[in-house]
Amino acid sequence: MATTVSDGDESAARFRRTQRGLTRLLVRDMRRLRRLIVPQRLQESAPEWIEAVRATVDQYGDASASLAADFYEAERVAARVTGTFTVPLIEPPVPEKTESSLRWATKDLWPRDQEQATPAQLEPMETRLDAAEAKAEQVVQKLVTDQARDTVREAVRRDRQATGWARAAAIGACAFCKMLASRGAVYGEDTADFRAHDGCHCGVIPIFRGQRFELSDKAKEWERLYREYAAPHSGDQLARFRRALAEHGQLLPPAH
């Protein structure tokens, strides 16, 4: 008898909570590293901070991938598929990728001529440091969570008993994530990309042979709103979907 898997399953919610808990610890350690940035010595201190953050991202990324492997193996057992399979752990991002992301997050710290500076670059240094820290936290959260998502997706690609995957979004997710999650199990084992933004907490749910995927009640409502208010309007679908979510109480304010 076929088993049913859903984005509303407790196992998926528990895994998402575990990943969010991990990234909260990541942010805590990130904030401790802020003291390494010395405004009077940006040229020397910023690279030191980037190197320390990169090492932290690698550490947490490995933990994130390990948790993802545990989740995949548990889902495989629940699906009652046959045969053994070892989940391949995805490596941390290459140093250049992390460094590039962190340089983007801190670009407004560097002094500029007043004629060339953006409004953000004219703010007091403490304000710019706060903004850079917030951007950096979002960037590293994505890098670490991507390592978990990629671990599950790569396992789906290699596992002969896997047929694809679905996206799971939380109640507080943005319209973009809810739109993609409402599509259900449309992502095959060879789907190459997971579209995520900085701060995205969406998860990947593996689907195995003999399983039937079913949208959760919340995702069914997102799918209904998209189909009714956005799908017929090519080129304006995301904006219309965001408006429909807000009007129907399905889009939390930015503070959440």
pLDDT in tens, 38-78: 999 999 999 999 999 999 999 999 999 999 999 999 999 99
Selection from 54, 126, 39, 43 nearest residue 93 by Cα = 54
Place of tokens 């850079």: 132
pLDDT, residue 255, reads 43
Give the pLDDT band of residue 191 (cuts 50, 70, 90): low
- How far apart, in Å, are the Cα atoms of 124 and each of 35, 106, 117? 17, 14, 13
Give the pLDDT band of residue 85 (cuts 50, 70, 90): very high
**23: CB partners within 8 A, 6+ apart:** 60, 141, 144, 145, 201
Evaluate whether 148 touches 67 at the Cβ level (below 8 Å): yes
Mean pLDDT estimate for the chain: 91
**67: CB partners within 8 A, 6+ apart:** 15, 18, 19, 22, 148
pLDDT, residue 3, reads 83
Q: Where is pLDDT greater, at 155 or 188? A: 155
185 has a pLDDT exceeding 90: no
pTM given for the model: 0.90
Q: Mean per-residue pLDDT for 208-218?
A: 94
pLDDT, residue 147, reads 96
20 has a pLDDT exceeding 50: yes
Give the pLDDT band of residue 256 (cuts 50, 70, 90): very low
254 has a pLDDT exceeding 60: no
